[in-house]
Amino acid sequence: MQLAFLDTKLSKEVKRKTEKLISSYKNLEAIIESKKMDAEHKMTVNYQPSESQRGNQFHSETEKIAELNIEIKEHLLTMRKLNVVYHSLKPIQQRIWDQKFLRGRYDVDVYSDLDIPDRTYYRLKREMIAVVAEAFGFI
């Protein structure tokens, strides 16, 4: 099994960072779409002074759009990686991911609903978090 080579003993910082990333998965699509809307060019005739004429400012509208496009690409890459990791997990781990991180339920409720012992639940959850941490280079 591939998880035999994976170290599931993670530091608190890595575990916290990984759990935060998994929890943010449900909001990534909305973040991406809102940034895409912000990055759309606004081509209207305007007789007011433009950003470049207002003084010695560092960013133009074009630079802001370019930065937004870079952020969008980073979020899309994160979302694709999380999708790949999610689909590579065992079905029981996918259900843990859904209930714990997407629905925000407590651990006790999750392993009770899944009808698995708490030790098994925490082992599966630890493996799942280790896979995500490995995929994102946190380990």
What kind and span of H or E run contains 102?
Answer: none
> Within its chain, how far is the Cα of 44 from the centroid?
35
Q: What is the DSSP letter of 120?
A: H
Average pLDDT in the 89-117 region?
94
Task: Tell me the mean pLDDT in the region 80-94.
Answer: 95
pLDDT band at 1 (very low <50, low <70, confident <90, very high): very low
* Whole-number Å distance between alpha carbons of 26 and 111: 21
Sequence ranges of the domains in the chain: 10-135
Amino acid at 74: E
Q: Which residue has the higher pLDDT, 29 or 41?
A: 29
Q: What is the pTM of this model?
A: 0.77
Q: Is the pLDDT of residue 10 over 90?
A: no
Question: Taking Cα atoms as reference points, which of 24, 14, 25, 28 lies closest to residue 131?
Answer: 14
